Chains A and B, each alone.
Chain A
Amino acid sequence: MNPRLSALPLSTWMNHLQGLRNAVEPRAERALALARARWLFRSVQSVGRNVAAYGSMSVQNEGTIQLGDRLTFVGGMMPSSLVCHPGARLSIGSDTQFNYGVSLEAWESVSIGERCMFASFVRVGDRDGHRTAPIVIDEDVWVAHGAIIMPGVRVGARSVVSAGSIVTQDVPPDSLAMGNPARNMSLELVARESGT
């Protein structure tokens, strides 16, 4: 027996199997994520279509939660959490994506616009121990890793909240908020290089 002759079909078979696996696995994960989201958000009053949760989450709903279409909750090392206290309102627009470890907490009102992106370990809570004030995040906002949004803040459309920043004041539209406490600068003025 020539080993090379028998090895060749085996490797092609392995390649076929790998290709099949690459084709099937994402779809299976997607289906599992959709089913998991349906189970996790069973207490939520209105859930849009195609909401997917790729990891474990803790959802605690005693108020009103509204979720839009095509939301994605990515799984990771820490579970995301959605908390809505009695009488509070938490609404999330369509096409918004959440990475792992995001924590959203509503005591009064938190509303998130469409097509937003939330990176890992972002915290949005409208009560900080001193006061309770509604948080509004407009559409197309990108909140980067580890940012904290304090109560009473309105983040304007298409703005970027930089990694690790703590937003205590309103962010106008089309601007970049960075630092602790966050300062705003226009996205037009920020250099085109990739650093912040």
Chain B
Amino acid sequence: MSPLPVPLSRELGTLLSRLKLRRCRAVGDAPTVLGRVWIHGSGEVRLGHRVVLDGRTAPIELHAMKGGSIILGDDVAIEGGASLEALQSITVGAGAKLGAFCKVMDNQHHPLRGNRHERPPSVPLVIEDGVTVGSRAILLPGSHVQQGATVAPGTVISRRIPPRVTVGGSPARVLRREVAG
């Protein structure tokens, strides 16, 4: 245990977290940052309240390039090695969890055909409230994971995932569909 009284050490931890998040445009109450978080780019990064970023195993990368925005809602938890790259916008809803080494990108960076060195257009990417994304999952541009869905580890997604289903595999299939109510 730390020699400091608990409220004081908690305050110090929050201060340290805010120091690590100093490049964000907005940070909510009581952020928790463990380990390393890399915030790159000249775009804007906004964090909600009580965000947990656990970059102890590998750094978390929040890369908002020029004109891009990454918006994390309240109570979002991100594990180490996750990488979010936004050229336009990535929105993560409240209570979402992103697993270790998952990749979320709203631009392919290279077109499939034609000149490989020009950027294709971005497609905004949305992760809604209460979504769980497993480790090493890949969310490609155009993904829209709706409320309460679960993405199994290692899944590759590039389209809309309906609410409250579990998807897995590559290409992604619905593994389980929870009955409403």
Contacts and interface: CB of A to CB of B under 8 A. Distances in A.
B41 to A, nearest CB: 14
A137 B5 CA distance: 60
A163 B156 contact: yes
A120 B107 CA distance: 15
A163 B159 contact: no
A162 B171 CA distance: 10
Interface stretch (B13-21, B26-34, B67-75, B109-117): B109-117
A113 interface: no
A146 B105 CA distance: 13
A195 B58 contact: no
Interface stretch (A1-9, A27-35, A47-55, A186-194): A186-194
A179 B171 CA distance: 5
A24 interface: no
Interface in A123-153: 140, 142, 144-146
A140 B117 CA distance: 12
Contacts of B97: none
Interface in A108-127: 117, 120-121
B121 A146 contact: no
Q: Sort chain B's interface into a size bin.
A: 20 to 34
Nearest to A160: B112
B116 A196 contact: no
B99 to A, nearest CB: 13
B61 to A, nearest CB: 6
Contacts of B159: 195
B156 A77 contact: no
B121 A194 contact: yes
A195 B105 CA distance: 12
Contact of B170 (A120, A121, A180): A180
A78 B59 CA distance: 9
Interface stretch (B46-54, B126-134, B138-146): B138-146
B136 interface: yes
Contacts of B156: 162-165, 178
Given A163-B140, A163-B156, A194-B121, A121 B116 contact: no
A176 interface: yes
Contacts of A77: 38, 58-59, 61, 81, 83
B9 interface: no
B158 interface: yes
A192 B120 CA distance: 11
A142 B110 contact: yes
A96 B113 CA distance: 18
B162 interface: no
Given A78-B58, A163-B156, 9 more contacts: A117-B110, A140-B116, A163-B103, A164-B170, A165-B156, A187-B112, A194-B120, A194-B142, A196-B140
Interface of A: 76-78, 117, 120-121, 140, 142, 144-146, 160, 162-166, 176, 178-180, 187, 190, 192, 194-196
Interface of B: 38, 58-59, 61, 81, 83, 101, 103, 105, 107-108, 110-113, 116, 120-121, 123, 136, 138, 140-142, 154-156, 158-159, 169-171
21 contacts: A77-B58, A77-B81, A140-B116, A142-B110, A142-B116, A146-B103, A146-B136, A160-B112, A163-B103, A163-B156, A164-B154, A164-B156, A176-B112, A178-B170, A190-B113, A194-B107, A194-B111, A194-B120, A194-B142, A195-B141, A196-B140
